Structure 1
């Protein structure tokens, strides 16, 4: 199985566990853009979760893989950022996602109404955030190349 398929299989396993535990979550960042056919690659799995689900998510993912030591970045003031290695794949989990831009902290926490659609992978439901929302997040992060790719893809739809 190639690495791309391995990542998708892992997403399905995580989704089953999260959905069974009634976790409020959504797929974000590059893997979201991949499934929306905006980008052709992604490196890790980025999951946005509700603040109240941090403990449950940490327990579930710790059973599946290994949590990594914290690696803080001053560009973010995220309430809870957890990085796991599961089946040799990097899984980043964010609750209370916040981006520091121009000296201001922008709260980018997941809210249920930000789950704009559900994608199904072999009977497993995957909640998705909007590429437009992620375009704004990337703009706040100063990731111009991502903003350009998303804007170009959305303009062509």
Structure 2
């Protein structure tokens, strides 16, 4: 498994390409929590993008690595889910992210207003969604450990 530093280097490379192409995107899930000091580990890179940018993102990331065959999960009704392996690192890309919870479909698509912060990694801006928003998403997914971790971290601030 790639080290955190390798994943961060890859994120910077992706950020450079996305920002240069004016892609609307944000970092989400565990890597977001890592940068916010809520968790000390993350396994992959989860990127939220606008549905308008799906084809351009597919083109950009296909030049960097290999797209994986679709492996749909019925819990998610995401409009476009793409998984890439780049430098032995999993990169998941979601556009029109939707979660099916208790028989109800929740639209969790990236909205520009959800980009609450940008962090600078060397020369690259990384747009972030809020940990509170991801707490809501994890609750809808039934990921109670993640919900507790985020709530505890936010309560201690």
Question: Structure 1 residue 123: deviation in Å?
Answer: 1.3
Question: Structure 1 residue 154: deviation in Å?
Answer: 0.1
Task: Please list the CA deviations of residues 134-155 of structure 1 after superposition, one character each: whole Å capped at 9, or x if unmatched.
Answer: 0000000000000000000000
Alignment of 1:8-157 (within 5 A): 8-157=8-157
Distance of 1:155 and 1:80 partners within structure 2: 34
Question: Structure 1 residue 95: deviation in Å?
Answer: 0.0
Distance of 1:80 and 1:72 partners within structure 2: 10
How many aligned residue pairs are there? 156
The secondary structure found in structure 2 opposite 1:64 is: coil
Structure 1, unaligned runs of 5 or more: none
Structure 2, unaligned runs of 5 or more: none
Distance of 2:150 and 2:156 partners within structure 1: 10
The secondary structure found in structure 1 opposite 2:72 is: coil
4+ residue segments displaced more than 6 Å: none
Distance of 1:87 and 1:7 partners within structure 2: 9
TM-score normalised by length of structure 2: 0.99
Task: Please list the CA deviations of residues 81-103 of structure 1 after superposition, one character each: whole Å capped at 9, or x if unmatched.
Answer: 00000000000000000000000
Distance of 2:10 and 2:47 partners within structure 1: 12
Distance of 1:47 and 1:104 partners within structure 2: 24
